[in-house]
């Protein structure tokens, strides 16, 4: 994965909040953007789709091609994960593992998530 450590950490905080606080994953009222705030954040930081493709057992190019024609919900159900919540929980686990592999400790990850979650919520 070619995301910076800061992006991985930010995505972890957002994914943790989306799992805990239902409002962050709800649709916005704007008619232009019919996506949740979390989904937009994920798209911004994972522009090439590498992270989402890895979770769905696809390569990034196939994922980008498929996301143009089908929704993420459809891709999640086709991959066998079932629900978007299961996808998000798998995302949280993958991001934690990535930070651990980059030298972060579990205590540092928890502390970072707690401090940043207060600011984001």
**pLDDT tens digits, residue range 43-62?**
787 878 888 899 999 999 99
Mean pLDDT, to the nearest integer, of 104-109?
Answer: 96
Per-residue model confidence (pLDDT) at position 14: 85
Query: When comparing pLDDT for 107 and 87, which is higher?
Result: 107
Give the tokens for residue 64: 């980008």
What is the DSSP annotation of 47-88?
A: TT-HHHHHHTT--HHHHHHHHHHS-HHHHHHHHT--SHHHHH
Q: Which pLDDT band holds residue 85 (cuts at 50, 70, 90)?
A: confident
Per-residue model confidence (pLDDT) at position 43: 79
108 — alpha (psi -120 to 50), left (phi > 0) or beta?
alpha
Per-residue model confidence (pLDDT) at position 38: 75
pLDDT in tens, 14-34: 888 877 655 444 444 454 455
How many structural domains does the chain have? Answer: 1
Range of the domain at 65: 5-120
């Amino acid at each position: 994965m070619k995301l910076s450590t800061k992006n991985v950490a930010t995505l972890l905080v957002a994914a943790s909040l989306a799992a805990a606080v239902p409002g962050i994953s709800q649709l916005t009222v704007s008619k232009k953007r019919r996506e949740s705030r979390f989904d937009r954040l994920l798209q911004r930081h994972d522009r090439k789709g590498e992270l989402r493709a890895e979770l769905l057992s696809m390569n990034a190019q196939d994922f980008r091609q498929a996301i143009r024609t089908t929704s993420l919900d459809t891709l999640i159900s086709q991959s066998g994960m079932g629900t978007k919540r299961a996808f998000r929980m798998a995302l949280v686990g993958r991001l934690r593992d990535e930070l651990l592999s980059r030298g972060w400790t579990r205590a540092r990850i928890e502390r970072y998530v707690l401090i940043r979650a207060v600011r984001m919520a």
